[in-house]
């Protein structure tokens, strides 16, 4: 999960820094990342019967829907780099809360199932 989250930041950074030339490519790459990232977690939630999964599944679906709308608008020439940068900024604002509350709850649940105990969380003091 941590590796996938590193990839989230790398692909979202490409949205924020895109130009008119590579905006379409950046949003397509992010969509590909989001599909595999969210599908993996959705599958974990379903196969382990994670109890509070509905809100987590809904957030994934809502984000992917917005990403697809932006991708379509760019493909049809109705949106440019500024809109792609905007969704990138929105994703940067959304993700820390999602990872802290929803993804970490899923990680704790799966670790408890597999190892019988919860993981400890190490935080850097910034
Ligand atoms: Fe995640
Ligand atoms: Fe998630």
Domain spans of the chain? 2-115
Q: How far is the CA of 21 from the centre of ligand 2 (A)?
A: 30
pLDDT in tens, 29-88: 999 999 999 999 999 999 999 988 999 999 999 999 999 999 999 999 999 999 999 999
Extract the tokens encoding 119. Answer: 């993981």
Can you give the pLDDT at residue 115?
82
pLDDT band at 119, cuts 50/70/90? low
Q: Are 60 and 102 in contact (CB under 8 A)?
A: no
Q: Where are the alpha helices (DSSP H) in the chain?
A: 2-16, 23-47, 53-75, 81-97, 104-115
Q: How far is the CA of 105 from the centre of ligand 2 (A)?
A: 10
Ligand nearest to the CA of 5: 1
- Helix (H, G, I), strand (E, B), or coil: what is residue 22? coil
Q: Are 29 and 123 in contact (CB under 8 A)?
A: no
pLDDT in tens, 100-113: 999 999 999 999 99
In this structure, which topology does domain 2-115 adopt according to CATH? 1.20.120
């Amino acid at each position: 999960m941590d590796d996938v989250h590193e990839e989230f930041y790398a692909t979202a950074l490409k949205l924020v820094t895109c130009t008119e030339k590579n905006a379409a490519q950046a949003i397509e790459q992010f969509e590909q990342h989001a599909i595999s990232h969210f599908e993996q977690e959705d599958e974990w939630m379903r196969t382990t019967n994670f109890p509070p999964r509905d809100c987590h599944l809904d957030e994934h679906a809502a984000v992917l829907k917005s990403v697809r709308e932006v991708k379509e608008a760019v493909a049809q020439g109705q949106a440019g780099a500024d809109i792609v940068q905007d969704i990138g900024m929105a994703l940067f604002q959304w993700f820390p809360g999602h990872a802290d509350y929803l993804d970490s709850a899923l990680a704790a649940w799966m670790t408890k199932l597999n190892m019988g105990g919860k993981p400890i969380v190490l935080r850097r003091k910034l």
